[in-house]
């Protein structure tokens, strides 16, 4: 099955980090643009196409202005920054402060709105935490979410005064994640309450916390999802919520995959995924780079 824009941009980011061995936003912007014009039918949102057009016109001599000009200068709050961020979590596996900086810079090539940027930082942070945990030990769901709340508290406090009506929107959503996970038992696919409170849209604020919730909720069986495999359960649950399914599914899969590791990803599932072997090799190379630093 063909991958969408999420994976196309993830691929460009991983490839750029591996080949340049550091973040090079000009190289990365060129790869995003080239990949889009080679395969425009991967399901990109219409907003971001304007950024690609402007980058192509200025030949990536100015990689920051096009994204800043989006939506009357507000910048995009879509989840396009978050959906591609997984390589940054692996690349910065040993340095969280660097992860925050790199995730921000990578996001700002297309998404400059605070909500778009912070969504990417949050998604990278969740993957980072998963990478550092041992899947053979039961996941402490409350610690996982509290650690994310602490991280976002600091990031959103640093940016206070930017004029948002709710100054710590991600912290608010993460607290909802926490209470929904605590309710836990009796959850089912197509959970309307989850969709109502956390969202399933293309907005980063209403999709990244949802992906984190899906990963945490799937630690335990979910009525109506017949699988013993917790990685598959997480992804299947995410898709069951509807809305922006490819993106919430892929963000959930990135967090769950980082936690469980390759062993829980069934070869039967993988054989249906376009270019899965190339993605696996890029993951290995990013990890080698991260531990060599
Ligand atoms: P984006 O930057 O174009 O943002 C997505 C959409 O969000 C825009 O097209 C606008 O409608 C809206 N938006 C974002 N910021 C603002 C703002 N400041 N003011 C008003 N509206 C705004 O693209 P992106 O890369 O963030 O999009 C990612 C999503 O698009 C992913 O789900 C990806 O798979 C793709 N996609 C999703 C769907 C879907 O689920 N319905 C369909 C096609 C494409
Ligand atoms: Mg997509
Ligand atoms: Mg791990
Ligand atoms: Mg999508």
Give per-residue pLDDT as tens, 3-19: 999 999 999 999 999 99
- How far does residue 244's CA lie from ligand 4's centre (Å)? 5
The Cα 52–Cα 37 span in angstroms is: 9
Q: Which two tokens stand for residue 87?
A: 């390589």
Binding-site sequence positions for Mg(2+)? 4-6, 244, 246-247
CA of 43 to the centre of ligand 4 (A): 8
Phi, psi of 157 (to 5 degrees): -70, -40
Cα torsion for 108, 283, 279, 66, to the nearest 10°? 10
Write the CB contacts of 157 (distance below 8 Å, at least 6 apart in sequence).
Answer: 168
Lining residues, ligand 1, CB within 6 Å: 4-6, 43, 45-48, 71, 74, 76-80, 83, 113, 202, 244, 246-247
Q: Looking at this predicted complex, what is its ipTM?
A: 0.95
Q: Nearest residue CA, atom 8 of ligand 1?
A: 47
Phi then psi for residue 188, to 5 deg, are -140, 160
Residue 127 Cα to ligand 3 midpoint, Å, equals: 9
Q: Tell me what pLDDT residue 249 has.
A: 97
Provide Rg for the chain, Cα atoms: 18
Q: Please tell me the predicted confidence (pLDDT) of residue 159.
A: 66
Give ∠ CA 178-203-109 in degrees, rounded to 5: 115
Over residues 164-198, the pLDDT tens digits come to 677 899 999 999 999 999 886 666 666 889 999 99
Nearest to 209 by CA among 144, 137, 139, 136: 144
Sign for the CA dihedral angle at 179, 181, 183, 186 comes to positive
Phi, psi values for residue 49, rounded to 5°: -65, -35
pLDDT score of 155 more than 60: yes
Backbone angles phi, psi at 78, to 5 degrees: -65, 170
pLDDT of residue 272: 94
Of ligand 1's atoms, which has the minimum distance to the CA of residue 6? 34
Q: Tell me the per-residue pLDDT of 26-85, one tens digit each, with 9 for 90 and over.
A: 999 999 999 999 999 999 999 999 999 999 999 999 999 999 999 999 999 999 999 999
pLDDT score recorded for residue 293: 74
| DSSP-assigned beta bridge partners for residue 203 | 78
Which residues line the annotated binding site?
4-6, 244, 246-247
Nearest residue by C-alpha to atom 38 in ligand 1: 244
Percent of the chain with pLDDT over 90: 89
Q: Look at residue 166 in the predicted model and tell me its pLDDT.
A: 79
Q: What angle do CA 271, 13, 282 make, to 5 degrees?
A: 45
Q: C-alpha distances in angstroms, 242 versus 143, 206, 207? A: 28, 13, 11
In this prediction, residue 183 carries a pLDDT of 84
Residue 149 token pair: 């709340």
Of 202, 204, 207, 254, the residue with max ligand 1 atoms within 8 A of its CB, to mutate for a pocket test, comes to 202
CB 104 within 8 A of CB 120: yes
For residues 262 and 137, the answer to whether their CB atoms sit within 8 Å is: no
**Residue whose C-alpha is closest to residue 107's, from 122, 129, 93:** 122
Residue nearest to atom 16 of ligand 1 (CA): 76
Environment of ion ligand 3 (residues, CB < 5 A): 133
Enter the pTM of the model. Answer: 0.97
CA end-to-end span of the chain: 36
Q: What's the 23 CA to ligand 2 centre distance in angstroms?
A: 23
- Predicted confidence (pLDDT) per residue in 277-287, tens digit: 999 999 999 99
Q: In sequence order, what DSSP letters do the residues of 48-96 get, joined into one string?
A: HHHHHHHHHHTTTSSSSHHHHTGGGGT---BTTTTTT-HHHHHHTTT-H
Tokens of 264: 């829980």
User: What is the distance between the alpha carbons of residues 101 and 125, in angstroms, rounded to a whole number?
Assistant: 12
């Amino acid at each position: 099955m063909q991958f969408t824009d999420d994976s196309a941009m993830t691929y460009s980011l991983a490839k750029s980090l591996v080949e340049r061995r550091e973040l090079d936003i000009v190289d990365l912007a060129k790869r995003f643009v080239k990949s889009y014009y080679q395969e425009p039918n991967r399901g990109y949102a219409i907003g971001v196409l304007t950024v690609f057009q402007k980058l192509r016109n200025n030949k990536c001599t100015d990689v920051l202005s096009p994204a800043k000009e989006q939506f009357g200068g507000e910048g995009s709050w879509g989840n396009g920054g978050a959906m591609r961020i997984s390589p940054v979590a692996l690349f910065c596996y040993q340095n969280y402060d660097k992860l925050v900086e790199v995730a921000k810079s990578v996001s700002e090539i297309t998404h400059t709105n605070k909500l778009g940027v912070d969504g990417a930082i949050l998604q990278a942070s969740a993957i980072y935490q998963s990478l550092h945990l041992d899947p053979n030990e039961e996941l402490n769901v409350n610690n996982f979410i509290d650690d994310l709340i602490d991280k976002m508290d600091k990031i959103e406090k640093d940016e206070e005064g930017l004029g948002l009506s709710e100054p710590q929107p991600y912290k608010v959503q993460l607290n909802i994640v926490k209470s929904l996970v605590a309710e836990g038992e009796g959850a089912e696919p197509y959970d309307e309450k989850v969709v109502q409170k956390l969202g399933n849209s293309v907005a980063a604020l209403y999709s990244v916390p949802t992906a984190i919730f899906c990963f945490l909720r799937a630690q335990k069986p979910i009525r109506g999802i017949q699988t013993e495999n917790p990685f598959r359960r997480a992804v299947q649950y995410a898709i069951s919520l509807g809305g922006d399914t490819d993106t919430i599914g892929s963000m959930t899969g990135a967090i769950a995959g980082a936690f469980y590791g390759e062993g829980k990803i069934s070869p039967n599932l993988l054989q249906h995924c376009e270019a899965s072997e190339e993605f696996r090799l890029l993951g290995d190379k990013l990890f080698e780079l991260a531990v060599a630093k």
